[in-house]
Amino acid sequence: MTRVWTILLIPLVAVSSFAAEVPIPAPPQVGARSFLLMDFASNRVLAEQAPDQPVEPASLTKLMTAYAVFHALDEGQISLSDQVRVSEKAWRTPGSRMFIEVGTEVGVEDLIRGMIIQSGNDASVALAEHVAGSEETFVALMNHHAEMLGMTGSHFQNSTGLPGDNHVMTARDVVTLAQAIIAEFPEYYGYYSELEYTYNGIRQHNRNSLLWRDDSVDGLKTGHTDAAGYCLVTSAERDGMRLMAVVLGTQSPESRADATQALLNYGFRFFETHRLYTDGAEITTARVWKGESESVQLGVTDDLFITIPRGQYDSLAAEMDLESELVAPLEKERLVGTVRVSLNGDSLAELPLVVLEDVGESGFFERLKDEITLWLQ
């Protein structure tokens, strides 16, 4: 048997002055083959067009190259101070370059900056060879990471983004990958906001023009080939709310920046994100029968973020389904119910309610007393 409680959302927050009765307009129409706008914390998609259509990603590929390199760094397989001998293959790789020279030794951190800031194909191949021995083996590693992240619409054939017969990504997968980089490797994410990098006496600027235009933007990557068009994946944070936007297949560097800016402004203007519950924090307490304590704290095992139209926080409601009788012993993280969050009757989230602390059995006479009380009820 369960009982249903209506509980107060915690913590209470100051709500926006944006009028709740004003309807949310449709997302802006942007000139891209596909695009996606998503909140980083809640995973709520705020705007999309053909987000699962596989397309050529051009240098957005280097997000996965970087992700695999960051994993190798994190696992101690390589270090930022490693010196990498530049192969002829890396040196000869066509396209954008950081201008490393064949036979020279270049530090891993220099190569990472050259790949991210200068979009160097030569740097990408050099890193791939250093991590896995060959670019071909590294590509297998890239596809493995894509599978682990659930990037079902992506397949890689090289580390650079040069065109391939089956070298594709989807807008949804690009955002998934960008989100993983930010969440898993914050110590390396700062490379994406660096405005320029000089190597071998050649200074090159970061091609993400939004880094100059919008102070809230702190990454991530541009891409371009004739077949792919102009692509951009961006992350921006304003007042504690982080959004990620990707546009694929626009007509020019200006159009990809303008399209991304329009999507970001739309998301920040009309939506807000709140953390309703924190992993391990008490939501409520419940009576415990036959226990060494008479009550137990209940909560959730994951942070819960929700993204809602601005000004509608007061319209949120939460219900809790809870077992009618909690009888000791109770183990920490035992599932005892469910919390459901809704906005104006529409379900937003449902998550398990668990015991936050162990509760052992009470002594014989206390258990007997509770047994009689429960029987009388």
The predicted-structure confidence for 100-141, as pLDDT tens digits, reads as follows 999 999 999 999 999 999 999 999 999 999 999 999 999 999
Q: Can you give the pLDDT at residue 163?
A: 94
Q: How many Cβ atoms from other residues are within 10 Å of residue 45's Cβ? A: 14
**What SS3 class is residue 70?**
helix
- 342 is an active site residue: no
* For range 82-102, the mean pLDDT: 96
User: Which of the residues 42, 62, 87, 96 is marked catalytic?
Assistant: 62
Q: Can you give the pLDDT at residue 5?
A: 52
Domain extents for the chain?
Answer: 34-273, 278-376
Please, which pLDDT band fits residue 374 given cuts at 50, 70 and 90?
low
The set of residues, in sequence order, having a beta carbon less than 8 Å from that of 241 and lying 6+ positions away, is 39, 41, 268, 271, 272, 273
Please determine, for residue 19, whether its predicted confidence score (pLDDT) is greater than 70: no
Q: Which fold has domain 34-273?
A: Beta-lactamase (3.40.710)
Please determine, for residue 24, whether its predicted confidence score (pLDDT) is greater than 50: yes
Tens-place pLDDT, residues 194-220: 999 999 899 999 999 999 999 999 999
Q: Any bridge partners for residue 83, and if so which?
A: 107
| Comparison of pLDDT for 369 and 29, the residue scoring more | 29
Tens-place pLDDT, residues 266-298: 999 999 999 999 998 888 888 877 778 888 889
- 119 is an active site residue: yes
User: Which of the residues 59, 96, 235, 362 is marked catalytic?
Assistant: 59
User: Which of the residues 42, 96, 119, 362 is marked catalytic?
Assistant: 119
* For range 241-269, the mean pLDDT: 97
* For range 19-46, the mean pLDDT: 88
Tens-place pLDDT, residues 359-369: 777 656 565 56
d(CA 235, CA 210): 10
Q: Measuring CA to CA, how many Å separate 262 from each of 49, 215, 259?
A: 14, 15, 5
d(CA 62, CA 58): 9
In this structure, whether the domain defined by 278-376 belongs to CATH 3.10.20.30 is answered with no
Answer whether 127's CB lies under 8 Å from 118's CB.
no
d(CA 56, CA 247): 12
CA 224 from chain centre, in angstroms, equals 23
